[in-house]
Chains A and B, each alone.
Chain A
Amino acid sequence: MEAPSLLTLVIAAFITALGCFTDITRRTIMLLSIQAIAIGSATLARCLIDLVIGLNIEALIHFFAAFAEWFSAAVVAPLILYWGVTKTENIADKPLIEARKLATLIISISILYILWILQSQMLREGRIITLSFCILMFSFSTLLMITRRDAFKILAGLNMAENSLFPLLAEIPITLVPFILTLMIFVTAMGTYVIIEAYRDHGTILVDRWRWLKE
């Protein structure tokens, strides 16, 4: 794996981990956008260099596909969530687990992950190392989702988990890119719709209060 790609993945993983500690909904959405920028930048830069060097249609198509992926993850999805927050509320809530314990958990996951990479035979192949990074970011995103009560933070965590698979998505046939992107935006839009409807019903975006109000 090239050093710049590795570096961007490390930065993206760090930002995903940071997402677990944020208090305000808008800040989580901002981190989601930064995470997507970090993940997509290496691929985008590579495609741009190919385009400048090659100057052919194929390179142009690949550049546009990479740009579409990057744009939808870094701009469109966060904007949908941001719009949802403006329609509902921007709240500050702490993670369900205490910050120190959460940090210990994240460090433990990272150490276990490094040990797993060093031990595992199956991850020796170059392209599969990307998969292992994806899994690390995916775990952090899942941690963000399960430690939050704010519906938008949970949805932002889901988007971070989706973004974490983008390095692998760069390998898929170019004809599939529009479908996958549309689907991911569709899921975000649908989630936002459900949260706005729930906010109308319950007057809050805290998921535990939805149940509490009912009882």
Chain B
Amino acid sequence: MYSLLPLLTLIVPLFTGILCLFTCLFKFLEEFSRKTAKMLLLISAVLSLATPLAMIPYCVIGEVLETTGLGLRADSSNIAALVSTAILFLLVSIYNMSAEKGGRLKPGVYNFFLLLFLCCMFGLLLSYDLFGIFLFVEMVIGVSIILVAHNPIKDSTEAAFKYLIITAISALFVLIGVLTIYVLTGESNILHLLGNIEKRMILAENPPLLMFIVACFIVGLGADIGLAPFHGWLPDTLPASTIIINGFTAIEPIPLILALYRLVAPLYEIYPSSIIVALMLGTGLVSIIFGALMAYSQRDFFRMFAYCSIDEYGHSLFALSLLSPSDSQIFIIGQFYLINSTLAKTGLILSLGSVYFNTGGSNMDFLGGLLEKMNKTALSYIVCALSIIGIPPMSGFYAKLLLINASYKFFYDYGNSIIASLIIALLICIAVISCVILIRSFHKIFLGKSRVNIDVKGDVPILMWLPTILLAMATIIIGVHPDLLIRFIGYTRFG
């Protein structure tokens, strides 16, 4: 069905962002901009949530809302991700009300970039056009880099430059992949490409080139997401960014990982090669193992979180990579895992941000005994951590259960029972390592003796702990009623 709602989803944050930018362009509005910037961001976030919510009734009954010509499309395959992205953005905007202390960018410019970031994330989720996906990927990354450099500390520029170089090169890999498809087939819309037998055959008849395109997409988007071994920027970027930017960028994997799936899955449909699955699964597995092992040795909780994130990105990619020509459940399981993981990770990073806000330090060796004074933050941290580990009744448990079940079935069908058992054993071992890392970090930060050199008067302001508590509650509610989220996730066959 032709609809302007997908386009409106992009226009709302972009338009409100431009309005915020205007407030700092004129001198007489500067004072107004400084005083109202945080409130304007919150209002914009609420408005930006309205359009995805308006699309839910259509998408749930299986309608496809499409803005033809621009390749934007909302359906059951992306509505849950859209709404989750908008809700998480809103919660971090609430957190921003108390946590933002200013930086290199003026408040109006800062708001503009944040809203542009949201617009690009929506664009990535809605776009089915190859060039559209490339443009939105590059924009998401570009805006993230500016936001990293916003932090007025010395480390931020170095981290931003590293981030820029790695991700700009990787974006060129995405462009090479996109251009190769376009030069060969003359088509940039993924759905049109799959609907045309002749164009499909052009790609299917040249398997080495198809594998080259898949490799370009995995390298390109893998580096943008922060998957091992292309993750170089991630552990430096998190400690160098402000605590709020860490919250906003924690949402980024939802659109980026789904974009990678949207680029690779159609190619698998054209040429169902086990090499494509092996490349995706391999990247996922390397990220899982590398992330978990590296997180173990970290003392800085931001760096620990960065490696835990690599581990979680690996899990999400692994779940989405169990591609099979007959099984449509994989996409639902993968997306469910991805949304749950992002939910818990956002809660976790905001809680860590609150600790940093109150103590001014991120080295876990110099922290301790914060439970009494920061009990709400401690509660949200442990609930989100337990969800990531996969302890019932948190949502992470159900997500991990589905992942393990799907993995066993996949490796049993395409391998044998020994391989399937080994993979399950590996996933369980990694979950145990994550458990040790996160519980140990909770112990180091919140339990034990309080340090004399840290003067913490009480918990962070309500606008900072409320979003983290809401996120912790969400993980419990979805854990008890997973169908609340699963029923919104559908699968659209590309062809």
Contacts and interface: CB of A to CB of B under 8 A. Distances in A.
B183 A190 contact: no
A202 B157 CA distance: 9
B165 interface: yes
Nearest to B188: A173
B175 A165 contact: yes
B188 A214 contact: no
Given A122-B206, A172-B179, A211-B158, A187 B149 contact: no
Interface residues of A, number: 44
Interface string A151-181: 1001100100110010011011100100110
A202 B169 CA distance: 25
Contacts of A202: 154, 157-158
Range for the number of chain B residues in contact with chain A = 20 to 34
A198 B172 contact: no
Interface stretch (A89-97, A102-110, A126-134): A126-134
Contacts of B182: 171-172
Given A154-B165, A197-B149, A171 B179 contact: yes
Nearest to B172: A161
Interface in A190-215: 190-191, 193-195, 197-198, 201-202, 207, 210-211, 213-214
A131 B182 CA distance: 12
Interface string A135-160: 10010001001000001001100100
Contact of B176 (A120, A134, A187): A134
A158 B157 contact: no
A121 interface: yes
Nearest to B69: A175
Nearest to A171: B183
A149 to B, nearest CB: 12
Contacts of A210: 154, 157-158, 161
Given A121-B208, A162-B172, A169 B157 contact: no
A7 interface: no
B146 interface: yes
B168 A197 contact: no
A96 B414 CA distance: 47
B157 A190 contact: no
A145 to B, nearest CB: 7
A142 B183 contact: no
A162 B165 CA distance: 12
A52 interface: no
Nearest to B146: A190
Contacts of B464: none
Interface string A112-129: 000000001110000110
B356 interface: no
A162 B138 CA distance: 13
Nearest to A207: B161
Contacts of A127: 183-184
A183 interface: yes
Contacts of B212: 122
B179 A158 contact: no
Nearest to B141: A187
A186 interface: yes
B142 A128 contact: no
Interface of B: 104, 131, 135, 138-139, 142, 145-146, 149, 154-155, 157-158, 160-161, 164-165, 168-169, 172, 175-176, 179-180, 182-184, 188, 206, 208-209, 212
16 contacts: A120-B208, A122-B206, A145-B165, A145-B169, A171-B183, A173-B188, A179-B131, A183-B139, A186-B142, A187-B138, A190-B142, A190-B146, A198-B158, A201-B154, A214-B155, A214-B158
Interface of A: 120-122, 127-128, 130-131, 134-135, 138, 142, 145, 151, 154-155, 158, 161-162, 165, 168-169, 171-173, 176, 179-180, 183, 186-187, 190-191, 193-195, 197-198, 201-202, 207, 210-211, 213-214
